[in-house]
Structure 1
Amino acid sequence: MSFFNQLKEKAEGLNRKHNILPIGQNSAPPQSYHQQQYYPGQQPYQSQPQPQGQGQWQQQPQGHWQSPPPPQGQHWQQPAPPQPNYSTRPGGPPPIPSHSRPSASPSVELSGPRIYWRPTFNPGIPVSQEFEHKQGHGDPWGWGNNELENYTSDNSNSFHTHDGKLVLRAVSQSQHPDQEARYTSARLVSRATLGRRDGCLTAWLSLPCAEGVWPAFWLLPREPFVWPHEGEVDIAESWNGDCENHSCLHWGFYNAEDAQKHLVRGTHIPDMPHRPIRYDFVWQCSGTGVRGDGKSEGGGRLMWYIDGRPVMKNLMPPGTRPIEDWTILLNVAMGGNVCQGKTPRDGAYDMVVHNLQMSEAPDGGWARFDHDWPHCVDGAVM
C-alpha cells in the first residue's frame, strides 16, 4: 500500500470514527474519543501555586501567549515589516508581541541527570541547523487529516528569539489573494534521534489555544519508516482551545482490526493558555531485543509526565522501530478532521518552545521512575 493510500485510509478512518464529513458539509457532532485522566486520590488537574525561586514557574497573568486574532471578515493587508535589528540575519521575523510574550523561561537546573542533547535557540543560528522543515500541504489528504496549512521553511513561521526561545507561528490570512499564503505554519523534525535505549525527553511549551488550531509535540521513527506499524508517540497535543492534553501511543491503522493499537489518556489543564507546561517522555528499553527484521521485540517501558506528574504508561509494542531511532516533531496544524472542520480566525498563533533537551535519566533518576510505574495508569483504547 502506498504512503498516500495509507494517509487516505487514516483520514477516512478518522472521519468514520468521529462521524465527520468533508469540510463544508454538515455532520453530526463528533463523539469524544479520549478518556479523562485524573491523578490517584486527586480532583481533575489544577495548577498548584508554586513558591518563587530557582526552578519554579512564576504564575503568569491571564491572557493568551499568541497574538489575539482580529475579528472575522477582516480583509488581508500587507503585514508591517519586521522591527529592525531583531535578528542578526537580514529579514528576520517579527518578535512575539510584547503583550503576549511569556515573562520568563523556566530555570535550567545545573545538577541532575546528564543532558546529552539540547538545541541552541539563538537568532544567529538558523532553525534548519537542528531541524528539518517539512513543507507543503501534505497532498492529497492534507497530512492525512484534511488540514488547511501550508508548511513552509520561511522565517516568519519558525524562528529563534533574542531571549532564547524557538517559536513556531501559524498564520491565518483567509482573505489573502495567494491561496498558498492563506494558512501557513511550520512542521519541524529533529535531525537528532533519541539515540539511546534509556532516556528522558523534556520540553517546556506554551501552546496556542484557539478554535481550529492543533499544536503538537510528538515522535516518529527516523525516515524512511513504515507508518503506522513502526509506531507514533504523542506527548503534547490539544485542539480547538479545549485545554485537554492527549498523551497517545499508536501503531496501527484507524480500523476495527487495529482498534487495540491506539492508546490515549486525556489530561485537562485549565490554565494551559496562560503558562508554559512541562512535558516529559521517559523510555527504558535497554532490556529489550531487536528482531531479525530490525524491529523491536517490544516490552520496554514508556511513561508520559505533565508538570512532573505521571499521566500514562505503556509497554513498547513489538514490531515498532527501536526507540533509539526515533525523531522529535513540533508543528502547529490548522483545521481538518481533528479540529472537527473548524477553521481559525485570522491572526497569528504561536507555539513557544522555551527549552528542549534529552537526558540520560528522568529527574529523580530511575529509582523515581520505578516508584512511579505501579502508580501510573495504562493508556486506554480509543
Structure 2
Amino acid sequence: MSFLNKLKNKAEELNRKHNIGLPLGQGSQQQTHPSSQQYYPGQQPPQGQWQQPPQGQWQQPSQGQWQQPQQGQWHQPTQPNTYNRPAVPPPIPSHSRPPPSDAASHTQQSGAPPAQPQASQVYWRANFHPDIPVGQEFEQKQGHGDPYGWGNNELENYTSHASNSLFTPDHKLIVRAVSQPQHPDPEARYTSARLVTRRTLGRARGCLTAWLTLPCAEGVWPAFWMLPREPFEWPHEGEVDIAEAWNAEFQNHSCLHWGAYNSPEDMQKHLVRQTHIPDMGHRAVRFDFVWDCGTSGVRADGKSNGGGRLMWIIDGRPVMKNLMPPGTRPIEDWCVLLNVAMGGTVCQGKAPRDGIYDMVVHALQMSEEPEGGWWKFENDWHGCPHGAVM
C-alpha cells in the first residue's frame, strides 16, 4: 500500500472515531448541535453560533416584526388621563395658604398634578381658618342617644367642645370621636361631633366634593351625608350617604334612602353600592356627589316631582347612580352633615377601644358642575350602575 493510501485510510479511521461529518444518529457518538451548547451567563458563544436567550428575556424581533416607531409616529402620551389622577384637595387661595398636607405632598411626589377647579365653578367652599369658631360654618348638634333623634342605639354624646371639632393651623377640619369607657361621667365616656352646614346646596344642579381621611376601627362609624333642611320628615323626605364606613371593614357605602322598613314596598326604597377602599384611613379620598334636577320640578305640596339624576363618584370613578324619588324634598333644600358615630346597631354592637378617632376633612366645596363638565357626566351616566336594593 502506498503512503498516500495509508494516509487516506488513517483519515477515514479518525472520521469514524470522532463522528466528524456524519449525519446525526450515525456512528458511535451523537453530534452536539451548536444551538444546544451550554454557555455560562454573560459568556459570548463562538463566532457564527447563536444562543437562545433564557426564558423571559428580551430578544431582537426578526425583520418585519414590531420595531420602535420612528420620530413623529405613535408614542406613549405623557399627560395622564385627568380623571384617573389621585384625589388631591384643591389649593387654598394664596393669601391664606397653609403648608402642604402629608396626603397632598405624597400625591405630588408621585408626579400627578392636583385638581384645580376654576374659581368661577366653585360657588361655596367651607372656611376652615383656625381663627374662626367651627360654629360659624356649621351648626354643632348636641345630645346623647335616641331622645335627640340620632337612632341606631349609638353610644356617642355629641358636643360643641373644641375637643370634638376644630380647625387646624393648616386649614383642615377635624371631627373627633373620643372613647374613654372608664370615665366616671357617663356623658363623657363616648363624645363626638355632628356638624351640619349652615347653607344648603341651593341649586337645581351641581357637584358637592369633599376630601376625607376616615377613621377605621371597630365600633367607629364616620359619615359624610345629606339631609333636607330642618324641619323635615325622615326618612320619607330623603337621605343621601356619600361616605359611610364602619368597623374597619374598609368598605364605603353609597346610599339613597326615602322610606321606612315596615313593608316590602319600603324595602325597595333603600339603595346601596359598596366600594372597597383599603387605604381610606391613610390618605385623602375624594368623594363627589353630582345632582342634575333642573327639570324635575316641585309639586303643589312643596315636594320634588322626582326624576332628577343623582351620581356618586369616588376618586373620579362613578360608583352609583339613581333618579331622585318623587315625594322627597327638592335637592336645593338639602344640607351637608359630617359626624363620627360610635357603637350601635350599624356597628353590630361593637364599642370602640379607648382612644381618639379623627375624621380629617381636607376640603369641602360646592361647584356649578362636576370635574370634566356636564358632557362627562352624560358619558359616565350610561356606564354607571344603579343602586342595588339593600
* 1:370 maps to 2:378: yes
Alignment equivalent of 1:298, drawn from 293, 298, 306: 306
**Shift in Å, 1:263:** 0.4
Partner of 1:129: helix, strand, or coil?
helix
Residue identity in the other structure for 2:128? F
**Shift in Å, 1:57:** 4.7
* 1:144 maps to 2:162: no
Alignment equivalent of 1:264, drawn from 246, 249, 272: 272
Q: What is residue 171 of structure 1 aligned with on the other side?
A: 178
* 1:214 maps to 2:230: no
Residue identity in the other structure for 1:155? A
**Shift in Å, 1:143:** 1.5
**Shift in Å, 1:189:** 0.4
TM-score (norm 2): 0.71
Residue identity in the other structure for 2:299? R
**Shift in Å, 1:381:** 0.5
Give a deviation string over 1:101-137, Cα, whole Å, max 9, x none. Answer: 8454784515376100001111101111110011111
Alignment equivalent of 1:227, drawn from 234, 238, 253: 234
Percent sequence identity over matched residues?
73
2: CA distance between counterparts of 1:141 and 1:186? 14
Contact 2:134–2:167 (Cα < 8 Å) also in 1: yes
Contact 1:115–1:358 (Cα < 8 Å) also in 2: yes
Give a deviation string over 1:168-217, Cα, whole Å, max 9, x none. Answer: 01000011111110000000000010000000000000000000000000
Q: What is residue 250 of structure 2 aligned with on the other side?
A: 243
Q: What is residue 186 of structure 1 aligned with on the other side?
A: 193
Q: What is residue 313 of structure 1 aligned with on the other side?
A: 321
Give a deviation string over 1:203-260, Cα, whole Å, max 9, x none. Answer: 0000000000000000000000011110000000000000000000000002234010
In the comparison of the two structures, how many residue pairs are matched?
290
* Structure 2 portions without partners, runs of 5+: 1-78, 89-100, 108-113
Contact 2:103–2:284 (Cα < 8 Å) also in 1: no
1:306/1:58 CA distance change after superposition, 3 Å? closer
Q: Which one has the largest radius of gyration?
A: 2
Give a deviation string over 1:145-190, Cα, whole Å, max 9, x none. Answer: 0000000000110000000100001000011111110000000000
Contact 1:135–1:187 (Cα < 8 Å) also in 2: yes
Residue identity in the other structure for 1:304? W
Greater relative CO, 1 or 2 (CA 8 Å, sep 6+)? 1
RMSD: 2.1
Residue identity in the other structure for 1:350? D
Q: What is residue 124 of structure 1 aligned with on the other side?
A: 131
TM-score (norm 1): 0.73
Residue identity in the other structure for 2:347? C
**Shift in Å, 1:271:** 1.5
* Structure 1 portions without partners, runs of 5+: 1-49, 60-100
2: CA distance between counterparts of 1:203 and 1:116? 14
